Amino acid sequence: MKVVVQRVKSASVTVGKEITGAIEKGLLLLVGVHQEDTKEQMEWMCEKILKVRVFEDEDGKMNRSITDVRGGILVVSQFTLYGDAKKGTRPSYIEAARPEKAEPMYEDMVTYLKEHSDLDIQTGKFAAMMDVELVNDGPVTLILEK
């Protein structure tokens, strides 16, 4: 599993003309599921996301987690995180999980975050063409992989 974590001042996802998810201060998660990912890896990733300290404390040090600052989380599926463009000019997505595996893993991740925090958890729409808008905060961006 690979997740791009971006600290944001705000973020939203629109499918067609409908906003499917929007947050103010928090984290935007771009989530890629690998074909060999397990439930244990997904749970580890969720715990890491809830605890990683990327928000500033009163001294200006990144010492607070999303849980500490009571921010929102916007979760967006993104199979292209497993795109491999080493050969040629058209990326291969062979490492990305097929939708029949990726969608339940994505949904389980959203459920886990909701059940293990009392934060505002919002989502995009799996396999949809989405417009993602965000205002980076910092910018602070991490790539987590398990």
78 is catalytic: yes
Annotated catalytic residue: which of 6, 14, 20, 78?
78
Q: What is the 3-state secondary structure (H, E, C) of the chain?
A: CEEEEEEEEEEEEEECCEEEEEECCEEEEEEECECCCCHHHHHHHHHHHHHCCCEECCCCCEEECHHHHCCEEEEEECHHHHCECCCCCCCECCCECCHHHHHHHHHHHHHHHHHCCCCEEEECCCCCCCEEEEEEEEEEEEEEEC
Q: Which of 79, 111, 126, 141 is catalytic?
A: 79
Q: Which of 80, 122, 126, 141 is catalytic?
A: 80
Enzyme catalytic residues: 78-80
